[in-house]
Amino acid sequence: MPDKAQLAVDKFAEGYNCAQSVVFAFCDECGIGGDAALKVSCGFGGGMGRKQEVCGAVTGGIMVLGLRHGRGTQDGRPVTEDLYRMTREFMDAFAVRNGSYLCRDLTGCDLTTEEGQRRFKEDGLLEKVCKQCVRSAAEMLEKMA
């Protein structure tokens, strides 16, 4: 069984965003193809389209939790409540491990501006922060299986 955290980091290194990388690492076990995983999660990078809301690694993780445990057409409302509990636990644990689950807090710069994007690159935040968040989310999901 491949190391999902390393698979996520490798996908991130290929240039895919944080959400895409996390979802892709778990797509086989979740029953979706790699291309579909990348497409459905694409808009969640940079805290959702660089709005710097919830970290893309976290939203990718929530998508994985949903694919694993979410409510489908044959499930009742309790399934939703269980997933909401798992989602809160995942987000809270991510914040404890990384200091926050909000992209803006994690990066400390405004990615919607050229200045913020320049600072992000100059300070090496992709490597220092985002890569670590991708690894962290995937490792946590592996333990939550």
For 50-92, the pLDDT digits (tens) are 999 999 999 999 999 999 999 999 999 999 999 999 999 999 9
Pinpoint the alpha helices (H) of the chain: 4-13, 18-30, 34-41, 45-48, 56-69, 77-98, 103-107, 114-122, 125, 131-144
pLDDT single digits (tens) 28-41 = 999 999 999 999 99
Q: Look up the pTM and report it.
A: 0.95
Quickly list DSSP for 117-141: HHHHHHTTHIIIIIHHHHHHHHHHH
